[in-house]
Amino acid sequence: MGVACMVLENPYLCSDECDASTPDLAHPPSLMVDKDEEDLATYWQSVTWKRYPEPLVANISMSWNKTIELTDDIVVTFEYGRPTAMMLEKSLDYGRTWHPYQYYADDCIEAFGMTPKKVVNLIASNVSRVLCTEDYSRWAGSKKEKNVVFEVRERFAIFAGPDLRKMENLYMRMESAKGLKDFFTLTDLRLRLLRPALGGTYVQRDNLRKYFYAISNIEVSARCKCNLHSNACNFRDGALQCECEHNTTGQDCGRCKKSFRNRSWRAGSFTPLPHGSPNSCAASGSLGNCECYGHSSRCSFIDFLNVVTCVSCKHNTRGQHCQHCRLGFYRNVSAELEDENVCIQCNCNQHGSEHERCNETGDCVCRPGATGTKCDECLLDYHWRQGCHPNVCDDELLICQNGGTCHQGQRCICPSGFKGALCQDVKCDSTHRNCDSASDSLMVSSLLLICTILLSMEGI
């Protein structure tokens, strides 16, 4: 491993140019994830901005060859200044496609055309929103301001409280909202460094060697995704592998073993607390002679299909073995199939959902503008009034004009003299004589024009 230049304050104070071929001057990518000694900071360093004004761009990719789930903040430590523009991206398919995770800039509107936002201002319905933040891109004059953070704990806190003491609330939300669980799931991460720290308001062209990227540490706190079917994840056969339990198999314990496929595979469940439910795969033949899981006491033989099926399934179940839920109900993952409460009513909001049916996790199909498990919440640009309706105004795009103020996104309150949905039109009434005068003049001009045309026609 190359030895980086010893840093007491700023790495650019080292007089020699970075040289990958010389051990003492090399700054390889491996130094971003090594453990620094107490008084020696090792770091990866990019080339300098010699080709300005051509952009200085660097991509840093991290791959685990395994699906992982974030458990805490992602922290990237920069030596000598954090970038003034960068992106954090993630992949769920081993780097084939990438999706933005968060944008960072000293000016979000200039860099990405986005209004800066803070995670602390998010709510349950938009916790997975992709933001642009300006909190980590200011010029840092002290050694304390080196970190760029992707705030995972603050998003957890929206459900679990500021001290994360109510994790059961987060787990319950994870169970009911598949999209939330996917938000914290990934196979790869990528940093896209787009503009280095400037140390001022403009680039000093006579000293371009002072502009570069330098990262001393990248910390990603995560666990292997094993669908709650494993308590261990080890490096085996060149890749991370879950040590699967509950008769499951696969890199993520994502399917039943060959001889345990009598029940459909399901992920383990956090609920019921505190121990959850394993949802083990069942061995072939374990259903016996037409098992109905206690939801029916009668069976019927269907001759042309040569199968035996349960009759008159109770407890809102259906299917050959009463193993599925009726339309309008979904499976209670915290209950065994024999439980009378195995099927839970969807309770889709009649105004916000397309119909009363939901998917296997209880999520209803929402109408445009609606969100939430039961479609009883609205997206950011909508408001609730027996369903979700588009906002007439907001503070970002549909801004009230001429001094008008937006009231709950539903209407603009216009000042005297203006009207219209966004207060964009001049109001004409008895108190605004200029507007009346202009209208009167237009009417007189129109009448004169008509008279002139008529006179001309008479003279023909």
Phi-psi region of 122 (alpha: psi -120 to 50; beta: other; left: phi over 0): beta
Q: How many CB atoms sit inside 10 A of residue 310's CB?
A: 23
Note the pLDDT of residue 20. 67
- Given this model, what pLDDT does residue 431 score? 57
Q: Are 11 and 80 in contact, with CB atoms under 8 Å apart?
A: yes
At 141 the pLDDT is: 56
- Does the model's pTM come out above 0.75? no
pLDDT of residue 157: 93
Task: Please give the full DSSP string across 320-333, using - where no structure is assigned.
Answer: TTS-EEPTTEEE-T
Vertex 153 angle, CA 151 and 159, to 5°: 120
Residue 452 burial by Cβ neighbours in a 10 Å radius (0-12, 13-18, 19+): exposed
The predicted structure's pLDDT at residue 17 = 57
Residue 2: the pLDDT is 32
Q: Block means of pLDDT (10 residues each) for the chain, length 460 residues?
A: 39 54 74 71 86 93 93 92 95 93 95 94 90 86 78 93 86 78 93 90 85 91 93 86 91 84 77 78 58 82 75 91 91 82 92 90 91 89 86 78 83 87 80 49 43 46
Q: Are 51 and 205 in contact (CB under 8 A)?
A: no
What distance lies between CA 45 and its chain's CA centroid?
Answer: 30
**What would the DSSP string read from start to end of 173-233?**
HHHH-HHHHHHTEEEEEEEEEEE---SSSS--GGGGGG---EEEEEEEEEEE--TTSEEEE
What CA–CA distance (Å, rounded) separates 330 from 336? 13
Report the DSSP pairing between strands 99-105 and 131-133: parallel
How many Cβ atoms sit within 10 Å of the Cβ of residue 249?
Answer: 17
Burial label for 308, CB within 10 Å (0-12, 13-18, 19+), is middle
**C-beta separation of 291 from 321 below 8 A:** yes
Give the per-residue pLDDT at 39: 63
